[in-house]
């Protein structure tokens, strides 16, 4: 966390009890990133997925995901979570457009098709080309570059949770490569 990105006069830290209390009363704002490899013409060639313990306790393939902190810019949150999950040399290409390609709403129940047992979260989802070397953090068990067909397959969908398989297909549709 860089000092100039966070409002210095305000506490960005919440203890777990406070966060749990807020989670039952307010929607939280998240950023999520679908990591992709693109060629020199911008065509998506691979989709990167982590293998990570999820909020529901299952081990699942997942995209990069995390909370926006008090005082933090959306761009900084994207950079922070991508650098943490994919490593300091991953060189994510954060898009110039501040608008996500889609907005996903997670709820504890199934009202939206996207679920998170912990909270109501509004997630700004970006497609982020990765041009460097990926070294997943300790919190992930593995990271894999899949072909677009694999990433959109029923097999991989069954290994994802909370509806994130739909996010992958929406990202591929956005990039014009949905099979």
The residues of the shown chain that bind a second copy, judged by CB under 8 A, are: 7, 10-12, 14, 18, 22, 24-29, 36, 38, 40-44, 68-76, 78-79, 93-105, 107-109, 111-112, 120, 122, 124, 127, 129, 166, 169-170, 172-176, 178-179
Within 8 A by CB and 6+ apart from 122, the residues are 27, 28, 29, 30, 103, 104, 105, 106
The least CB distance from residue 146 to a second copy, in Å, is 16
Residue 46 phi/psi, 5-degree rounding, is: -145, 155
Distance CA 24, CA 45 (A): 40
Distance CA 155, CA 150 (A): 8
The least CB distance from residue 141 to a second copy, in Å, is 27
Measured from the CB atom, the residue of 138 and 155 that comes closer to a second copy is 155
Tokens representing 109 are 């129940």
Measured from the CB atom, the residue of 28 and 51 that comes closer to a second copy is 28
Contact 12, 1 (CB under 8 A): yes
Measured from the CB atom, the residue of 97 and 138 that comes closer to a second copy is 97
The least CB distance from residue 57 to a second copy, in Å, is 21
Tokens representing 163 are 């509806």
The least CB distance from residue 130 to a second copy, in Å, is 12
Measured from the CB atom, the residue of 96 and 138 that comes closer to a second copy is 96
């Amino acid at each position: 966390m860089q000092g100039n990105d966070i409002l210095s006069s305000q506490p960005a830290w919440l203890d777990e009890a406070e966060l749990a209390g807020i989670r039952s009363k307010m929607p939280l704002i998240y950023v999520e990133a679908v990591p992709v490899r693109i060629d020199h013409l911008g065509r998506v060639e691979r989709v990167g997925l982590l293998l990570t313990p999820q909020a529901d306790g299952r081990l699942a393939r997942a995209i990069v995901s995390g909370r926006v902190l008090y005082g933090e810019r959306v761009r900084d949150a994207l950079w922070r979570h991508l650098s943490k999950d994919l490593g300091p040399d991953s060189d994510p290409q954060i898009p110039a457009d501040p608008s996500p390609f889609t907005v996903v709403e997670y709820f504890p129940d199934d009202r939206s098709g996207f679920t998170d047992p912990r909270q109501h979260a509004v997630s700004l989802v970006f497609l982020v080309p990765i041009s460097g070397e990926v070294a997943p953090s300790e919190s992930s068990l593995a990271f894999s570059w899949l072909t677009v067909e694999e990433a959109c397959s029923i097999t991989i969908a069954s290994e994802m949770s909370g509806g994130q398989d739909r996010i992958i297909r929406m990202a591929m549709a956005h990039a014009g490569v949905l099979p």
